Amino acid sequence: MTQQQQHHEEASAKGGSSSDIIERVKKDHEELDDYYKHYKKSLKDGDGEAALKWFNQFVWEICRHSVSEELVLYPMMETMGDRGKKLADKSREDHHKVKEMLAEMESMSDAKEMEPKMDKLMEELREHIKLEESEDLALVEKEVGLGARETAGATFALGKSIAPTRPHTMVPEKPVVVEAALGLLATPMDKLRDMFTSFPKA
């Protein structure tokens, strides 16, 4: 492990604040992919309850991740000229699509039943992630120095804390987490921003 990796590990272990926003976003992407794989594996093993737990974990993480990107990453890109604005708009559109797909699953309570929709959602999400990493984050890397990216990374982590790690409503037999997540995603951005600024600065 390099010193930088170790620093990163330590920082994430304590919910740290000094990591590059690029690394934080990528790490979330990996986690999302991981949760999806666990969901699929649980289904394959015939464990519907475990699958639903992984589904809930996935939904909540995608929600926290999206909110934070919309609060920190995309506004930052908007300061980077037309290209930044265009990419931010495209990413917000992608998020909107994913949110609609989540809404379609709101009334489902069986992990197996939601599998086709979940697969479709993941396909969509992987496309978005590919674009976000190769275009959005590449632009940020080109335009912003490491110091400022670390500050943005701290703000990104703080943005994620608007949504608690787990909603109280997370119970295995009912995917009410979708409802909670959609509720959060439906909160107007200016209201979220107000909540956000009432947090102590990291």
Q: Which residues bind Fe ion (CB under 5 A)?
A: 69, 132
Decide whether 132 or 150 has the Cβ nearer to Fe ion: 132
| Least distance CB 73 / Fe ion (angstroms) | 7
| Least distance CB 60 / Fe ion (angstroms) | 15
Decide whether 51 or 139 has the Cβ nearer to Fe ion: 139
| Least distance CB 174 / Fe ion (angstroms) | 27
Decide whether 8 or 95 has the Cβ nearer to Fe ion: 95
CA distances from 4 to 70, 146, 201 (A): 27, 13, 24
Closest CA to 155 of 81, 74, 82, 60: 74
Decide whether 51 or 61 has the Cβ nearer to Fe ion: 61
Q: How far is it, in rounded angstroms, from Cα 102 to Cα 121?
A: 8
Exposure string for 31-42, b = 16+ CB within 10 A, e = fewer: ebeebbebbbeb
| Least distance CB 64 / Fe ion (angstroms) | 11
Helices 81-104 and 48-68: angle between axes, nearest 10 degrees? 150
Decide whether 50 or 101 has the Cβ nearer to Fe ion: 101
The amino acid sitting at 8 is: H
| Least distance CB 189 / Fe ion (angstroms) | 14
Q: How far is it, in rounded angstroms, from Cα 139 to Cα 51?
A: 36
Structure token digits, residue 98: 């994913």
